[in-house]
Amino acid sequence: MKSITVELADRSYPILFLPGLVTGADSAAQAPLAAAMGDSIFVVSNETVAGLYLASLQKLLGDRKVDVYIMPDGEQHKTLDQIDAIVGELLAGGHTRETTLIALGGGVVGDVAGFAAAVYQRGVAVIQMPTTLLSQVDSSVGGKTAVNHPLGKNMIGAFHQPKMVVIDVETLKTLSPREFSAGLAEIVKHAALADWDYFQWLQANQDSIMARDSACLMTMIEWSCRIKAVIVASDETEQGQRALLNLGHTFGHAIETLSGYGVVLHGEAVAVGLMMAADYSVRTKTLFDAAPTQLAQLLTAFALPTALPKGLNKADFLQAMNRDKKTTTDGLRLVILRDLGRADVTSRINERALEQTLDFFLENASGSG
């Protein structure tokens, strides 16, 4: 069994790779998970994922006390109301501080269940069981949990490390092409900010990846999880290096906020955000001129957008960027590229270059919005 440890002293935890665990193909993989769980379990999932995998998870949980909360599908349900509802069910079920929550689903389920675990009785354990590519390589690892506020994404949240992350790559076989591609955006981001070898590997294996070859997916997800685990271990609460993971995200969050949550997928917004960060980096002479083309080729091969949706305007875009969480009192901070495989955080913003980037992308908007 493959595993990676996220090193965080007394909050260290394993990322376990257990193909077939929740898809039911391999029950031998269940032992280490079963051993780690307590007697009282509360599963949070959504309508789609529960229909596919809840029965086999429940079988796996055996005769433990198990309650289940099924939330509606979609980013628009990442709200405080869902937290209130989950806490109500936890209390109604008599769950104590020793209960373990299991987040079975994608990024929304992981964020909501993770935040519910962070605040229920001031904190209970959570096991992340991500079932989308995006959540397997990104949101399930690192302890960031949050819900949205109408005025901003992820504005209400907590750092709450999971007790364990369990990844079953077989779940990716049932993902829609659009959601699969959205996950690849974070993978391209990992390669672009941290590892030129990984970037080249993605270029070389793009066809196998899009064909969802199991061995290829496993290599890729492990590679991304390792990059993320190292960065999180070095900077749990984003005082420094962890901010590199926001490459493309300040632009991306503005796209999501202005389009309305759930219209553009997070990964799609990040893909365009990566292009904008690269464009800005070229304009400010930190990145070589041909890099955006290479980035665009890879994103396009992964069926991701590289242009803004139509209908956005510059003033709103700038305001949304300035309201982003990464903003400090000194003003906006941006993650820039110094190479494909190397990034940096800067708060010295070249306003003129930023406006040029926005103008260029707004003029060349092509996606539906």
Where along the sequence are the contacts to a copy of itself (CB under 8 A)?
38-40, 80, 83-84, 87-88, 91-92, 94, 96-99, 118-123, 144, 146, 149-152, 155-159, 237, 322-323, 325, 327-329
Q: Is 64 a catalytic residue?
A: no
CB of 80 to a copy of itself, least distance (A): 5
Tell me the HSE value of 273 on the side-chain side, using a 13 A CA sphere: 30
> What is the DSSP code (8-state) at residue 137?
I
Q: Judged by CB, which is closer to a copy of itself: 155, or 233?
A: 155
Q: How far apart are CA 23 and CA 170, in angstroms?
A: 7
Quote the least distance from Cβ 32 to a copy of itself, whole Å.
22
Helix, strand, or coil (residue 244): helix
Nearer Cβ to a copy of itself, position 23 or 163? 163
For the record, the structure tokens of 43 come out as 């599963």
What residue type is 349 in one-letter code?
A: I
Q: Which is nearer to a copy of itself, 275 or 332 (CB)?
A: 332
State the minimum distance, in angstroms, from the CB of residue 164 to a copy of itself. 19
Can 65 be counted among the known catalytic residues? no
| Residue 346 C-beta: closest distance to a copy of itself, Å | 17
How many Å apart are CA 41 and CA 95, to the nearest integer?
8
Q: Which of 228, 236, 256, 268 does the annotation list as catalytic?
A: 228
Instruction: Phi first, then psi: give them for residue 2, nearest 5 degrees.
Output: -80, 145
Question: Is residue 242 annotated as a catalytic residue, yes or no?
Answer: yes
**Catalytic-labelled residue, pool 75, 170, 186, 256:** 186
| Burial grade of 129 (CB within 10 A; 0-12, 13-18, 19 or more) | buried
CA dist 214 and 170 (Å) reads: 7
Cβ-in-10-Å burial (0-12, 13-18, 19+) of 211 comes to exposed
Taking the least distance from each CB to a copy of itself, the nearer of 24 and 152 is: 152
Instruction: Name the minimum Å distance from CB 243 to a copy of itself.
Output: 11
Six token digits for residue 313: 């305007």
Provide the minimum distance between the beta carbon of 159 and a copy of itself in the complex, in angstroms, as a whole number: 6
Write down the catalytic residue from 144, 160, 189, 190. Answer: 144
CA 194 – CA 229 distance, rounded (Å): 12
Active-site residue, 59 included: no
> Is residue 122 annotated as part of the catalytic site, yes or no?
yes
Q: From the CB of residue 303, how many other CB atoms can be counted at a distance below 10 Å? A: 15
Catalytic: which of 154, 242, 256, 268?
242
Choice between 62 and 88, CB closer to a copy of itself: 88
CA 62-68-69 angle, 5° bins: 165
The neighbour count for residue 136, using CB atoms within 10 Å, is 33
Q: In which element (H, E) is residue 86 found?
A: helix 80-92
190 is catalytic: no
Active-site hit among 154, 253, 256, 268: 253
Q: Could you say which of 75, 236, 238, 268 is catalytic?
A: 238
User: Residue 104's beta-bridge partner residues?
Assistant: 45, 129
* Residue 326 is among the residues annotated as catalytic for this protein: no
Q: Closer CB to a copy of itself, residue 84 or residue 359?
A: 84
102 vs 182, beta carbon nearer a copy of itself: 102
- Minimal distance, residue 149 CB to a copy of itself, in Å: 5
Active site residue 144: yes
Catalytic residue among 46, 148, 154, 246: 246
Show Cβ contacts of residue 272 under 8 Å, excluding neighbours closer than 6 positions.
248, 251, 252, 255, 305, 306, 307, 308, 361, 367
Q: How far apart are CA 251 and CA 277, in angstroms?
A: 8
**How far is C-alpha 67 from the chain's CA centre?**
26
List residues with catalytic annotation: 122, 144, 186, 228, 238, 242, 246, 249, 253, 266
